[in-house]
Amino acid sequence: MFKTKHCAMTGLFVLLLFFLTLSVSAAPPKPGLSAAKPQTGVQPKPIAFLTVTLPKNGDYWQIGEYEGVYWNYNASAGKNVNIWLYKGNVKGPQIVSKLDIENTVHHWKVPESVAPGNDYRVMIESVEKPAIQAYSPGFFTIRKVPTGITVMAPNGGQAWIRATTQTIGWIYTGKPGTTVNITLESPGAPSFIIVVNHPIYQQLEHMGSYKWLIPGTLTPGSNYKIKIQVANTQYADTSDQSFIIK
């Protein structure tokens, strides 16, 4: 009889423990505690990124020349950009509109209407998200360089030997023309034509050269100069000092 009573009490205790466990697991969370949220796999959207790399503080742009705007971005910045020129805090001419952002560079010929100054910036804005904007780092200068040409060699003091090849060199600014005429000058003698309509530059803009085979029949002298003139213009220059041909 004792065993039967003991077994009945044990069964009752197990049944009570089962219902108590079930009640606790079904109870709602207490105030201030939040149940763990299931992982959905959704990642946060990346922050839009757009920045101008060039021009930067201290750079120079020249009126009448093609100058470059460079930028970096990420996909959240949109698909197209507008680019503006600012003078100080004042918006100036639009450089380009609705340009594919993937280009990351745009070359613009600075118009004659732009005033020289040292407080210019470039601003790029997303077409699809106008609030996303970027300015060039610091201020750069836009200037107008006078058009002209300058003889660099020979510029005085050289001694060239007949029947040898020597290099005549020059630099130029602005857009004076496309070809040059080169002559040898000596007081009291007619100009000696070396070359006509030679390209003003060969590889690098703003500088040019010509390899001259000095005739063996040329009269030796110590007062020669080279004159370079841009064809069909008034732009010309002559060696600063005389040089020798012997």
Q: What is the rounded distance in angstroms from the CA atom of residue 181 to the CA atom of residue 115?
A: 33
> Using an 8 Å Cβ cutoff, are 114 and 85 in contact?
yes
- pLDDT score recorded for residue 11: 52
- Domains belonging to the chain, first-starting first, are 50-143 (2.60.40.1930), 148-245 (2.60.40.10)
Query: pTM value?
Result: 0.56
The pLDDT tens digits for 155-204 are 999 999 999 999 999 999 988 999 999 999 999 999 999 999 999 998 88
pLDDT by 10-residue block (mean), the chain, 246 residues: 46 49 49 51 69 96 92 94 97 97 96 96 96 95 93 97 98 92 96 97 90 97 97 97 98
Burial of 94 (0-12, 13-18, 19+ CB in 10 A): exposed
Burial of 85 (0-12, 13-18, 19+ CB in 10 A): buried
Q: What is the rounded distance in angstroms from the CA atom of residue 172 to the CA atom of residue 192?
A: 23
Looking at the chain, the whole-number percentage of residues with pLDDT higher than 90 is: 73
Closest to 224 in 3D by CA, of 200, 240, 207: 240
Pairing of strands 243-245, 159-160: parallel
Burial of 34 (0-12, 13-18, 19+ CB in 10 A): exposed
- pLDDT score recorded for residue 65: 85
> Using an 8 Å Cβ cutoff, are 238 and 225 in contact?
yes
Report which residue type is found at 61.
W
C-alpha radius of gyration, the chain, whole number: 40
Burial of 226 (0-12, 13-18, 19+ CB in 10 A): buried
